[in-house]
Amino acid sequence: MLPKTTVLFVIAILAVAAFPALAVHMDSQLTGDLGVLDLATDVTFDGSIWTYTYQLTFTTAVGSNYVHSFAVDNIGQYLFTNASNTGNFTNPTYDPNAWSVDWILGTMTPGQTVTFSYQSQHAPDVITVWATVGDSGAYASGLTLGMGAEIPEPGTILALSGMFAAAAGLWRRRR
């Protein structure tokens, strides 16, 4: 019989290996002749679906440029749902022929922050994807997180839940 601490450690390692991340955060900047925008990206998993959230702040404008569009790569053309934003942009709906998730026809002024989001079965990829904003012949771009190829299987999720439950049980007994 293995010691409980060893069992707990093994469960933790297996859990991390089986499911590397339930929440991922990334800070980046979009830069270009449009200006500078800070982008804080959060991807969270609630057990059934991933929620991608992009908090975009128009930090520095060049000239009188505004932001009228925001696009995030979707090179895999993966399905997404429930796109929304806290500004006045038109939300995208899934188009199997589109290569990006595009919020358009809105206006962001310097100093303003707008949060864009969507949901997907696809987990965030290890590699980063591009995000671009545009206006008046100018643009700014940078890296962020986007949908990857992996869709966590129910079995994986079940295993993960079982591991956490077992760990919690063992921890409680030990205490």
Partner 1 sequence: MKIVSSIVVFLLAASVVGAVSMHTDLAPGTPPLPAPGTTIPLDASAVFDTGSGLWTYTYVIDPSNALLPITGFSVANVNHYVFYDATNNKNFVNPTWENFPSSVYWMGGSAPQNGGLIIFSFTSPLGPTVVNCTLHGGTKVAVGETLGMIPEPMSLLAIGTLLTGGAVALRRRKNK
- Positions that interact with partner 1 (CB under 8 A): 32-33, 63-66, 68-69, 71-74, 90, 95, 97-100, 102, 104-105, 107, 129-132, 134-139, 141
Query: Which residue number, 21 or 104, has a Cβ lying nearer to partner 1?
Result: 104
How many angstroms separate the CA atoms of 127 and 124, rounded?
8
**How far from the centroid of its chain's Cα atoms is residue 44's Cα?**
7
How many angstroms separate the CA atoms of 56 and 58, rounded?
7
Specify the DSSP element, H or E, that contains 156: helix 154-174
Taking only Cα atoms into account, the Rg of the chain, rounded to an integer number of angstroms, comes to 20
Closest distance between partner 1 and the C-beta of residue 78, in Å?
14
Phi/psi at 5 (5° precision): -65, -40
Closest distance between partner 1 and the C-beta of residue 97, in Å?
6
Closest distance between partner 1 and the C-beta of residue 29, in Å?
13
Query: Which residue number, 20 or 33, has a Cβ lying nearer to partner 1?
Result: 33
Query: Which residue number, 45 or 135, has a Cβ lying nearer to partner 1?
Result: 135
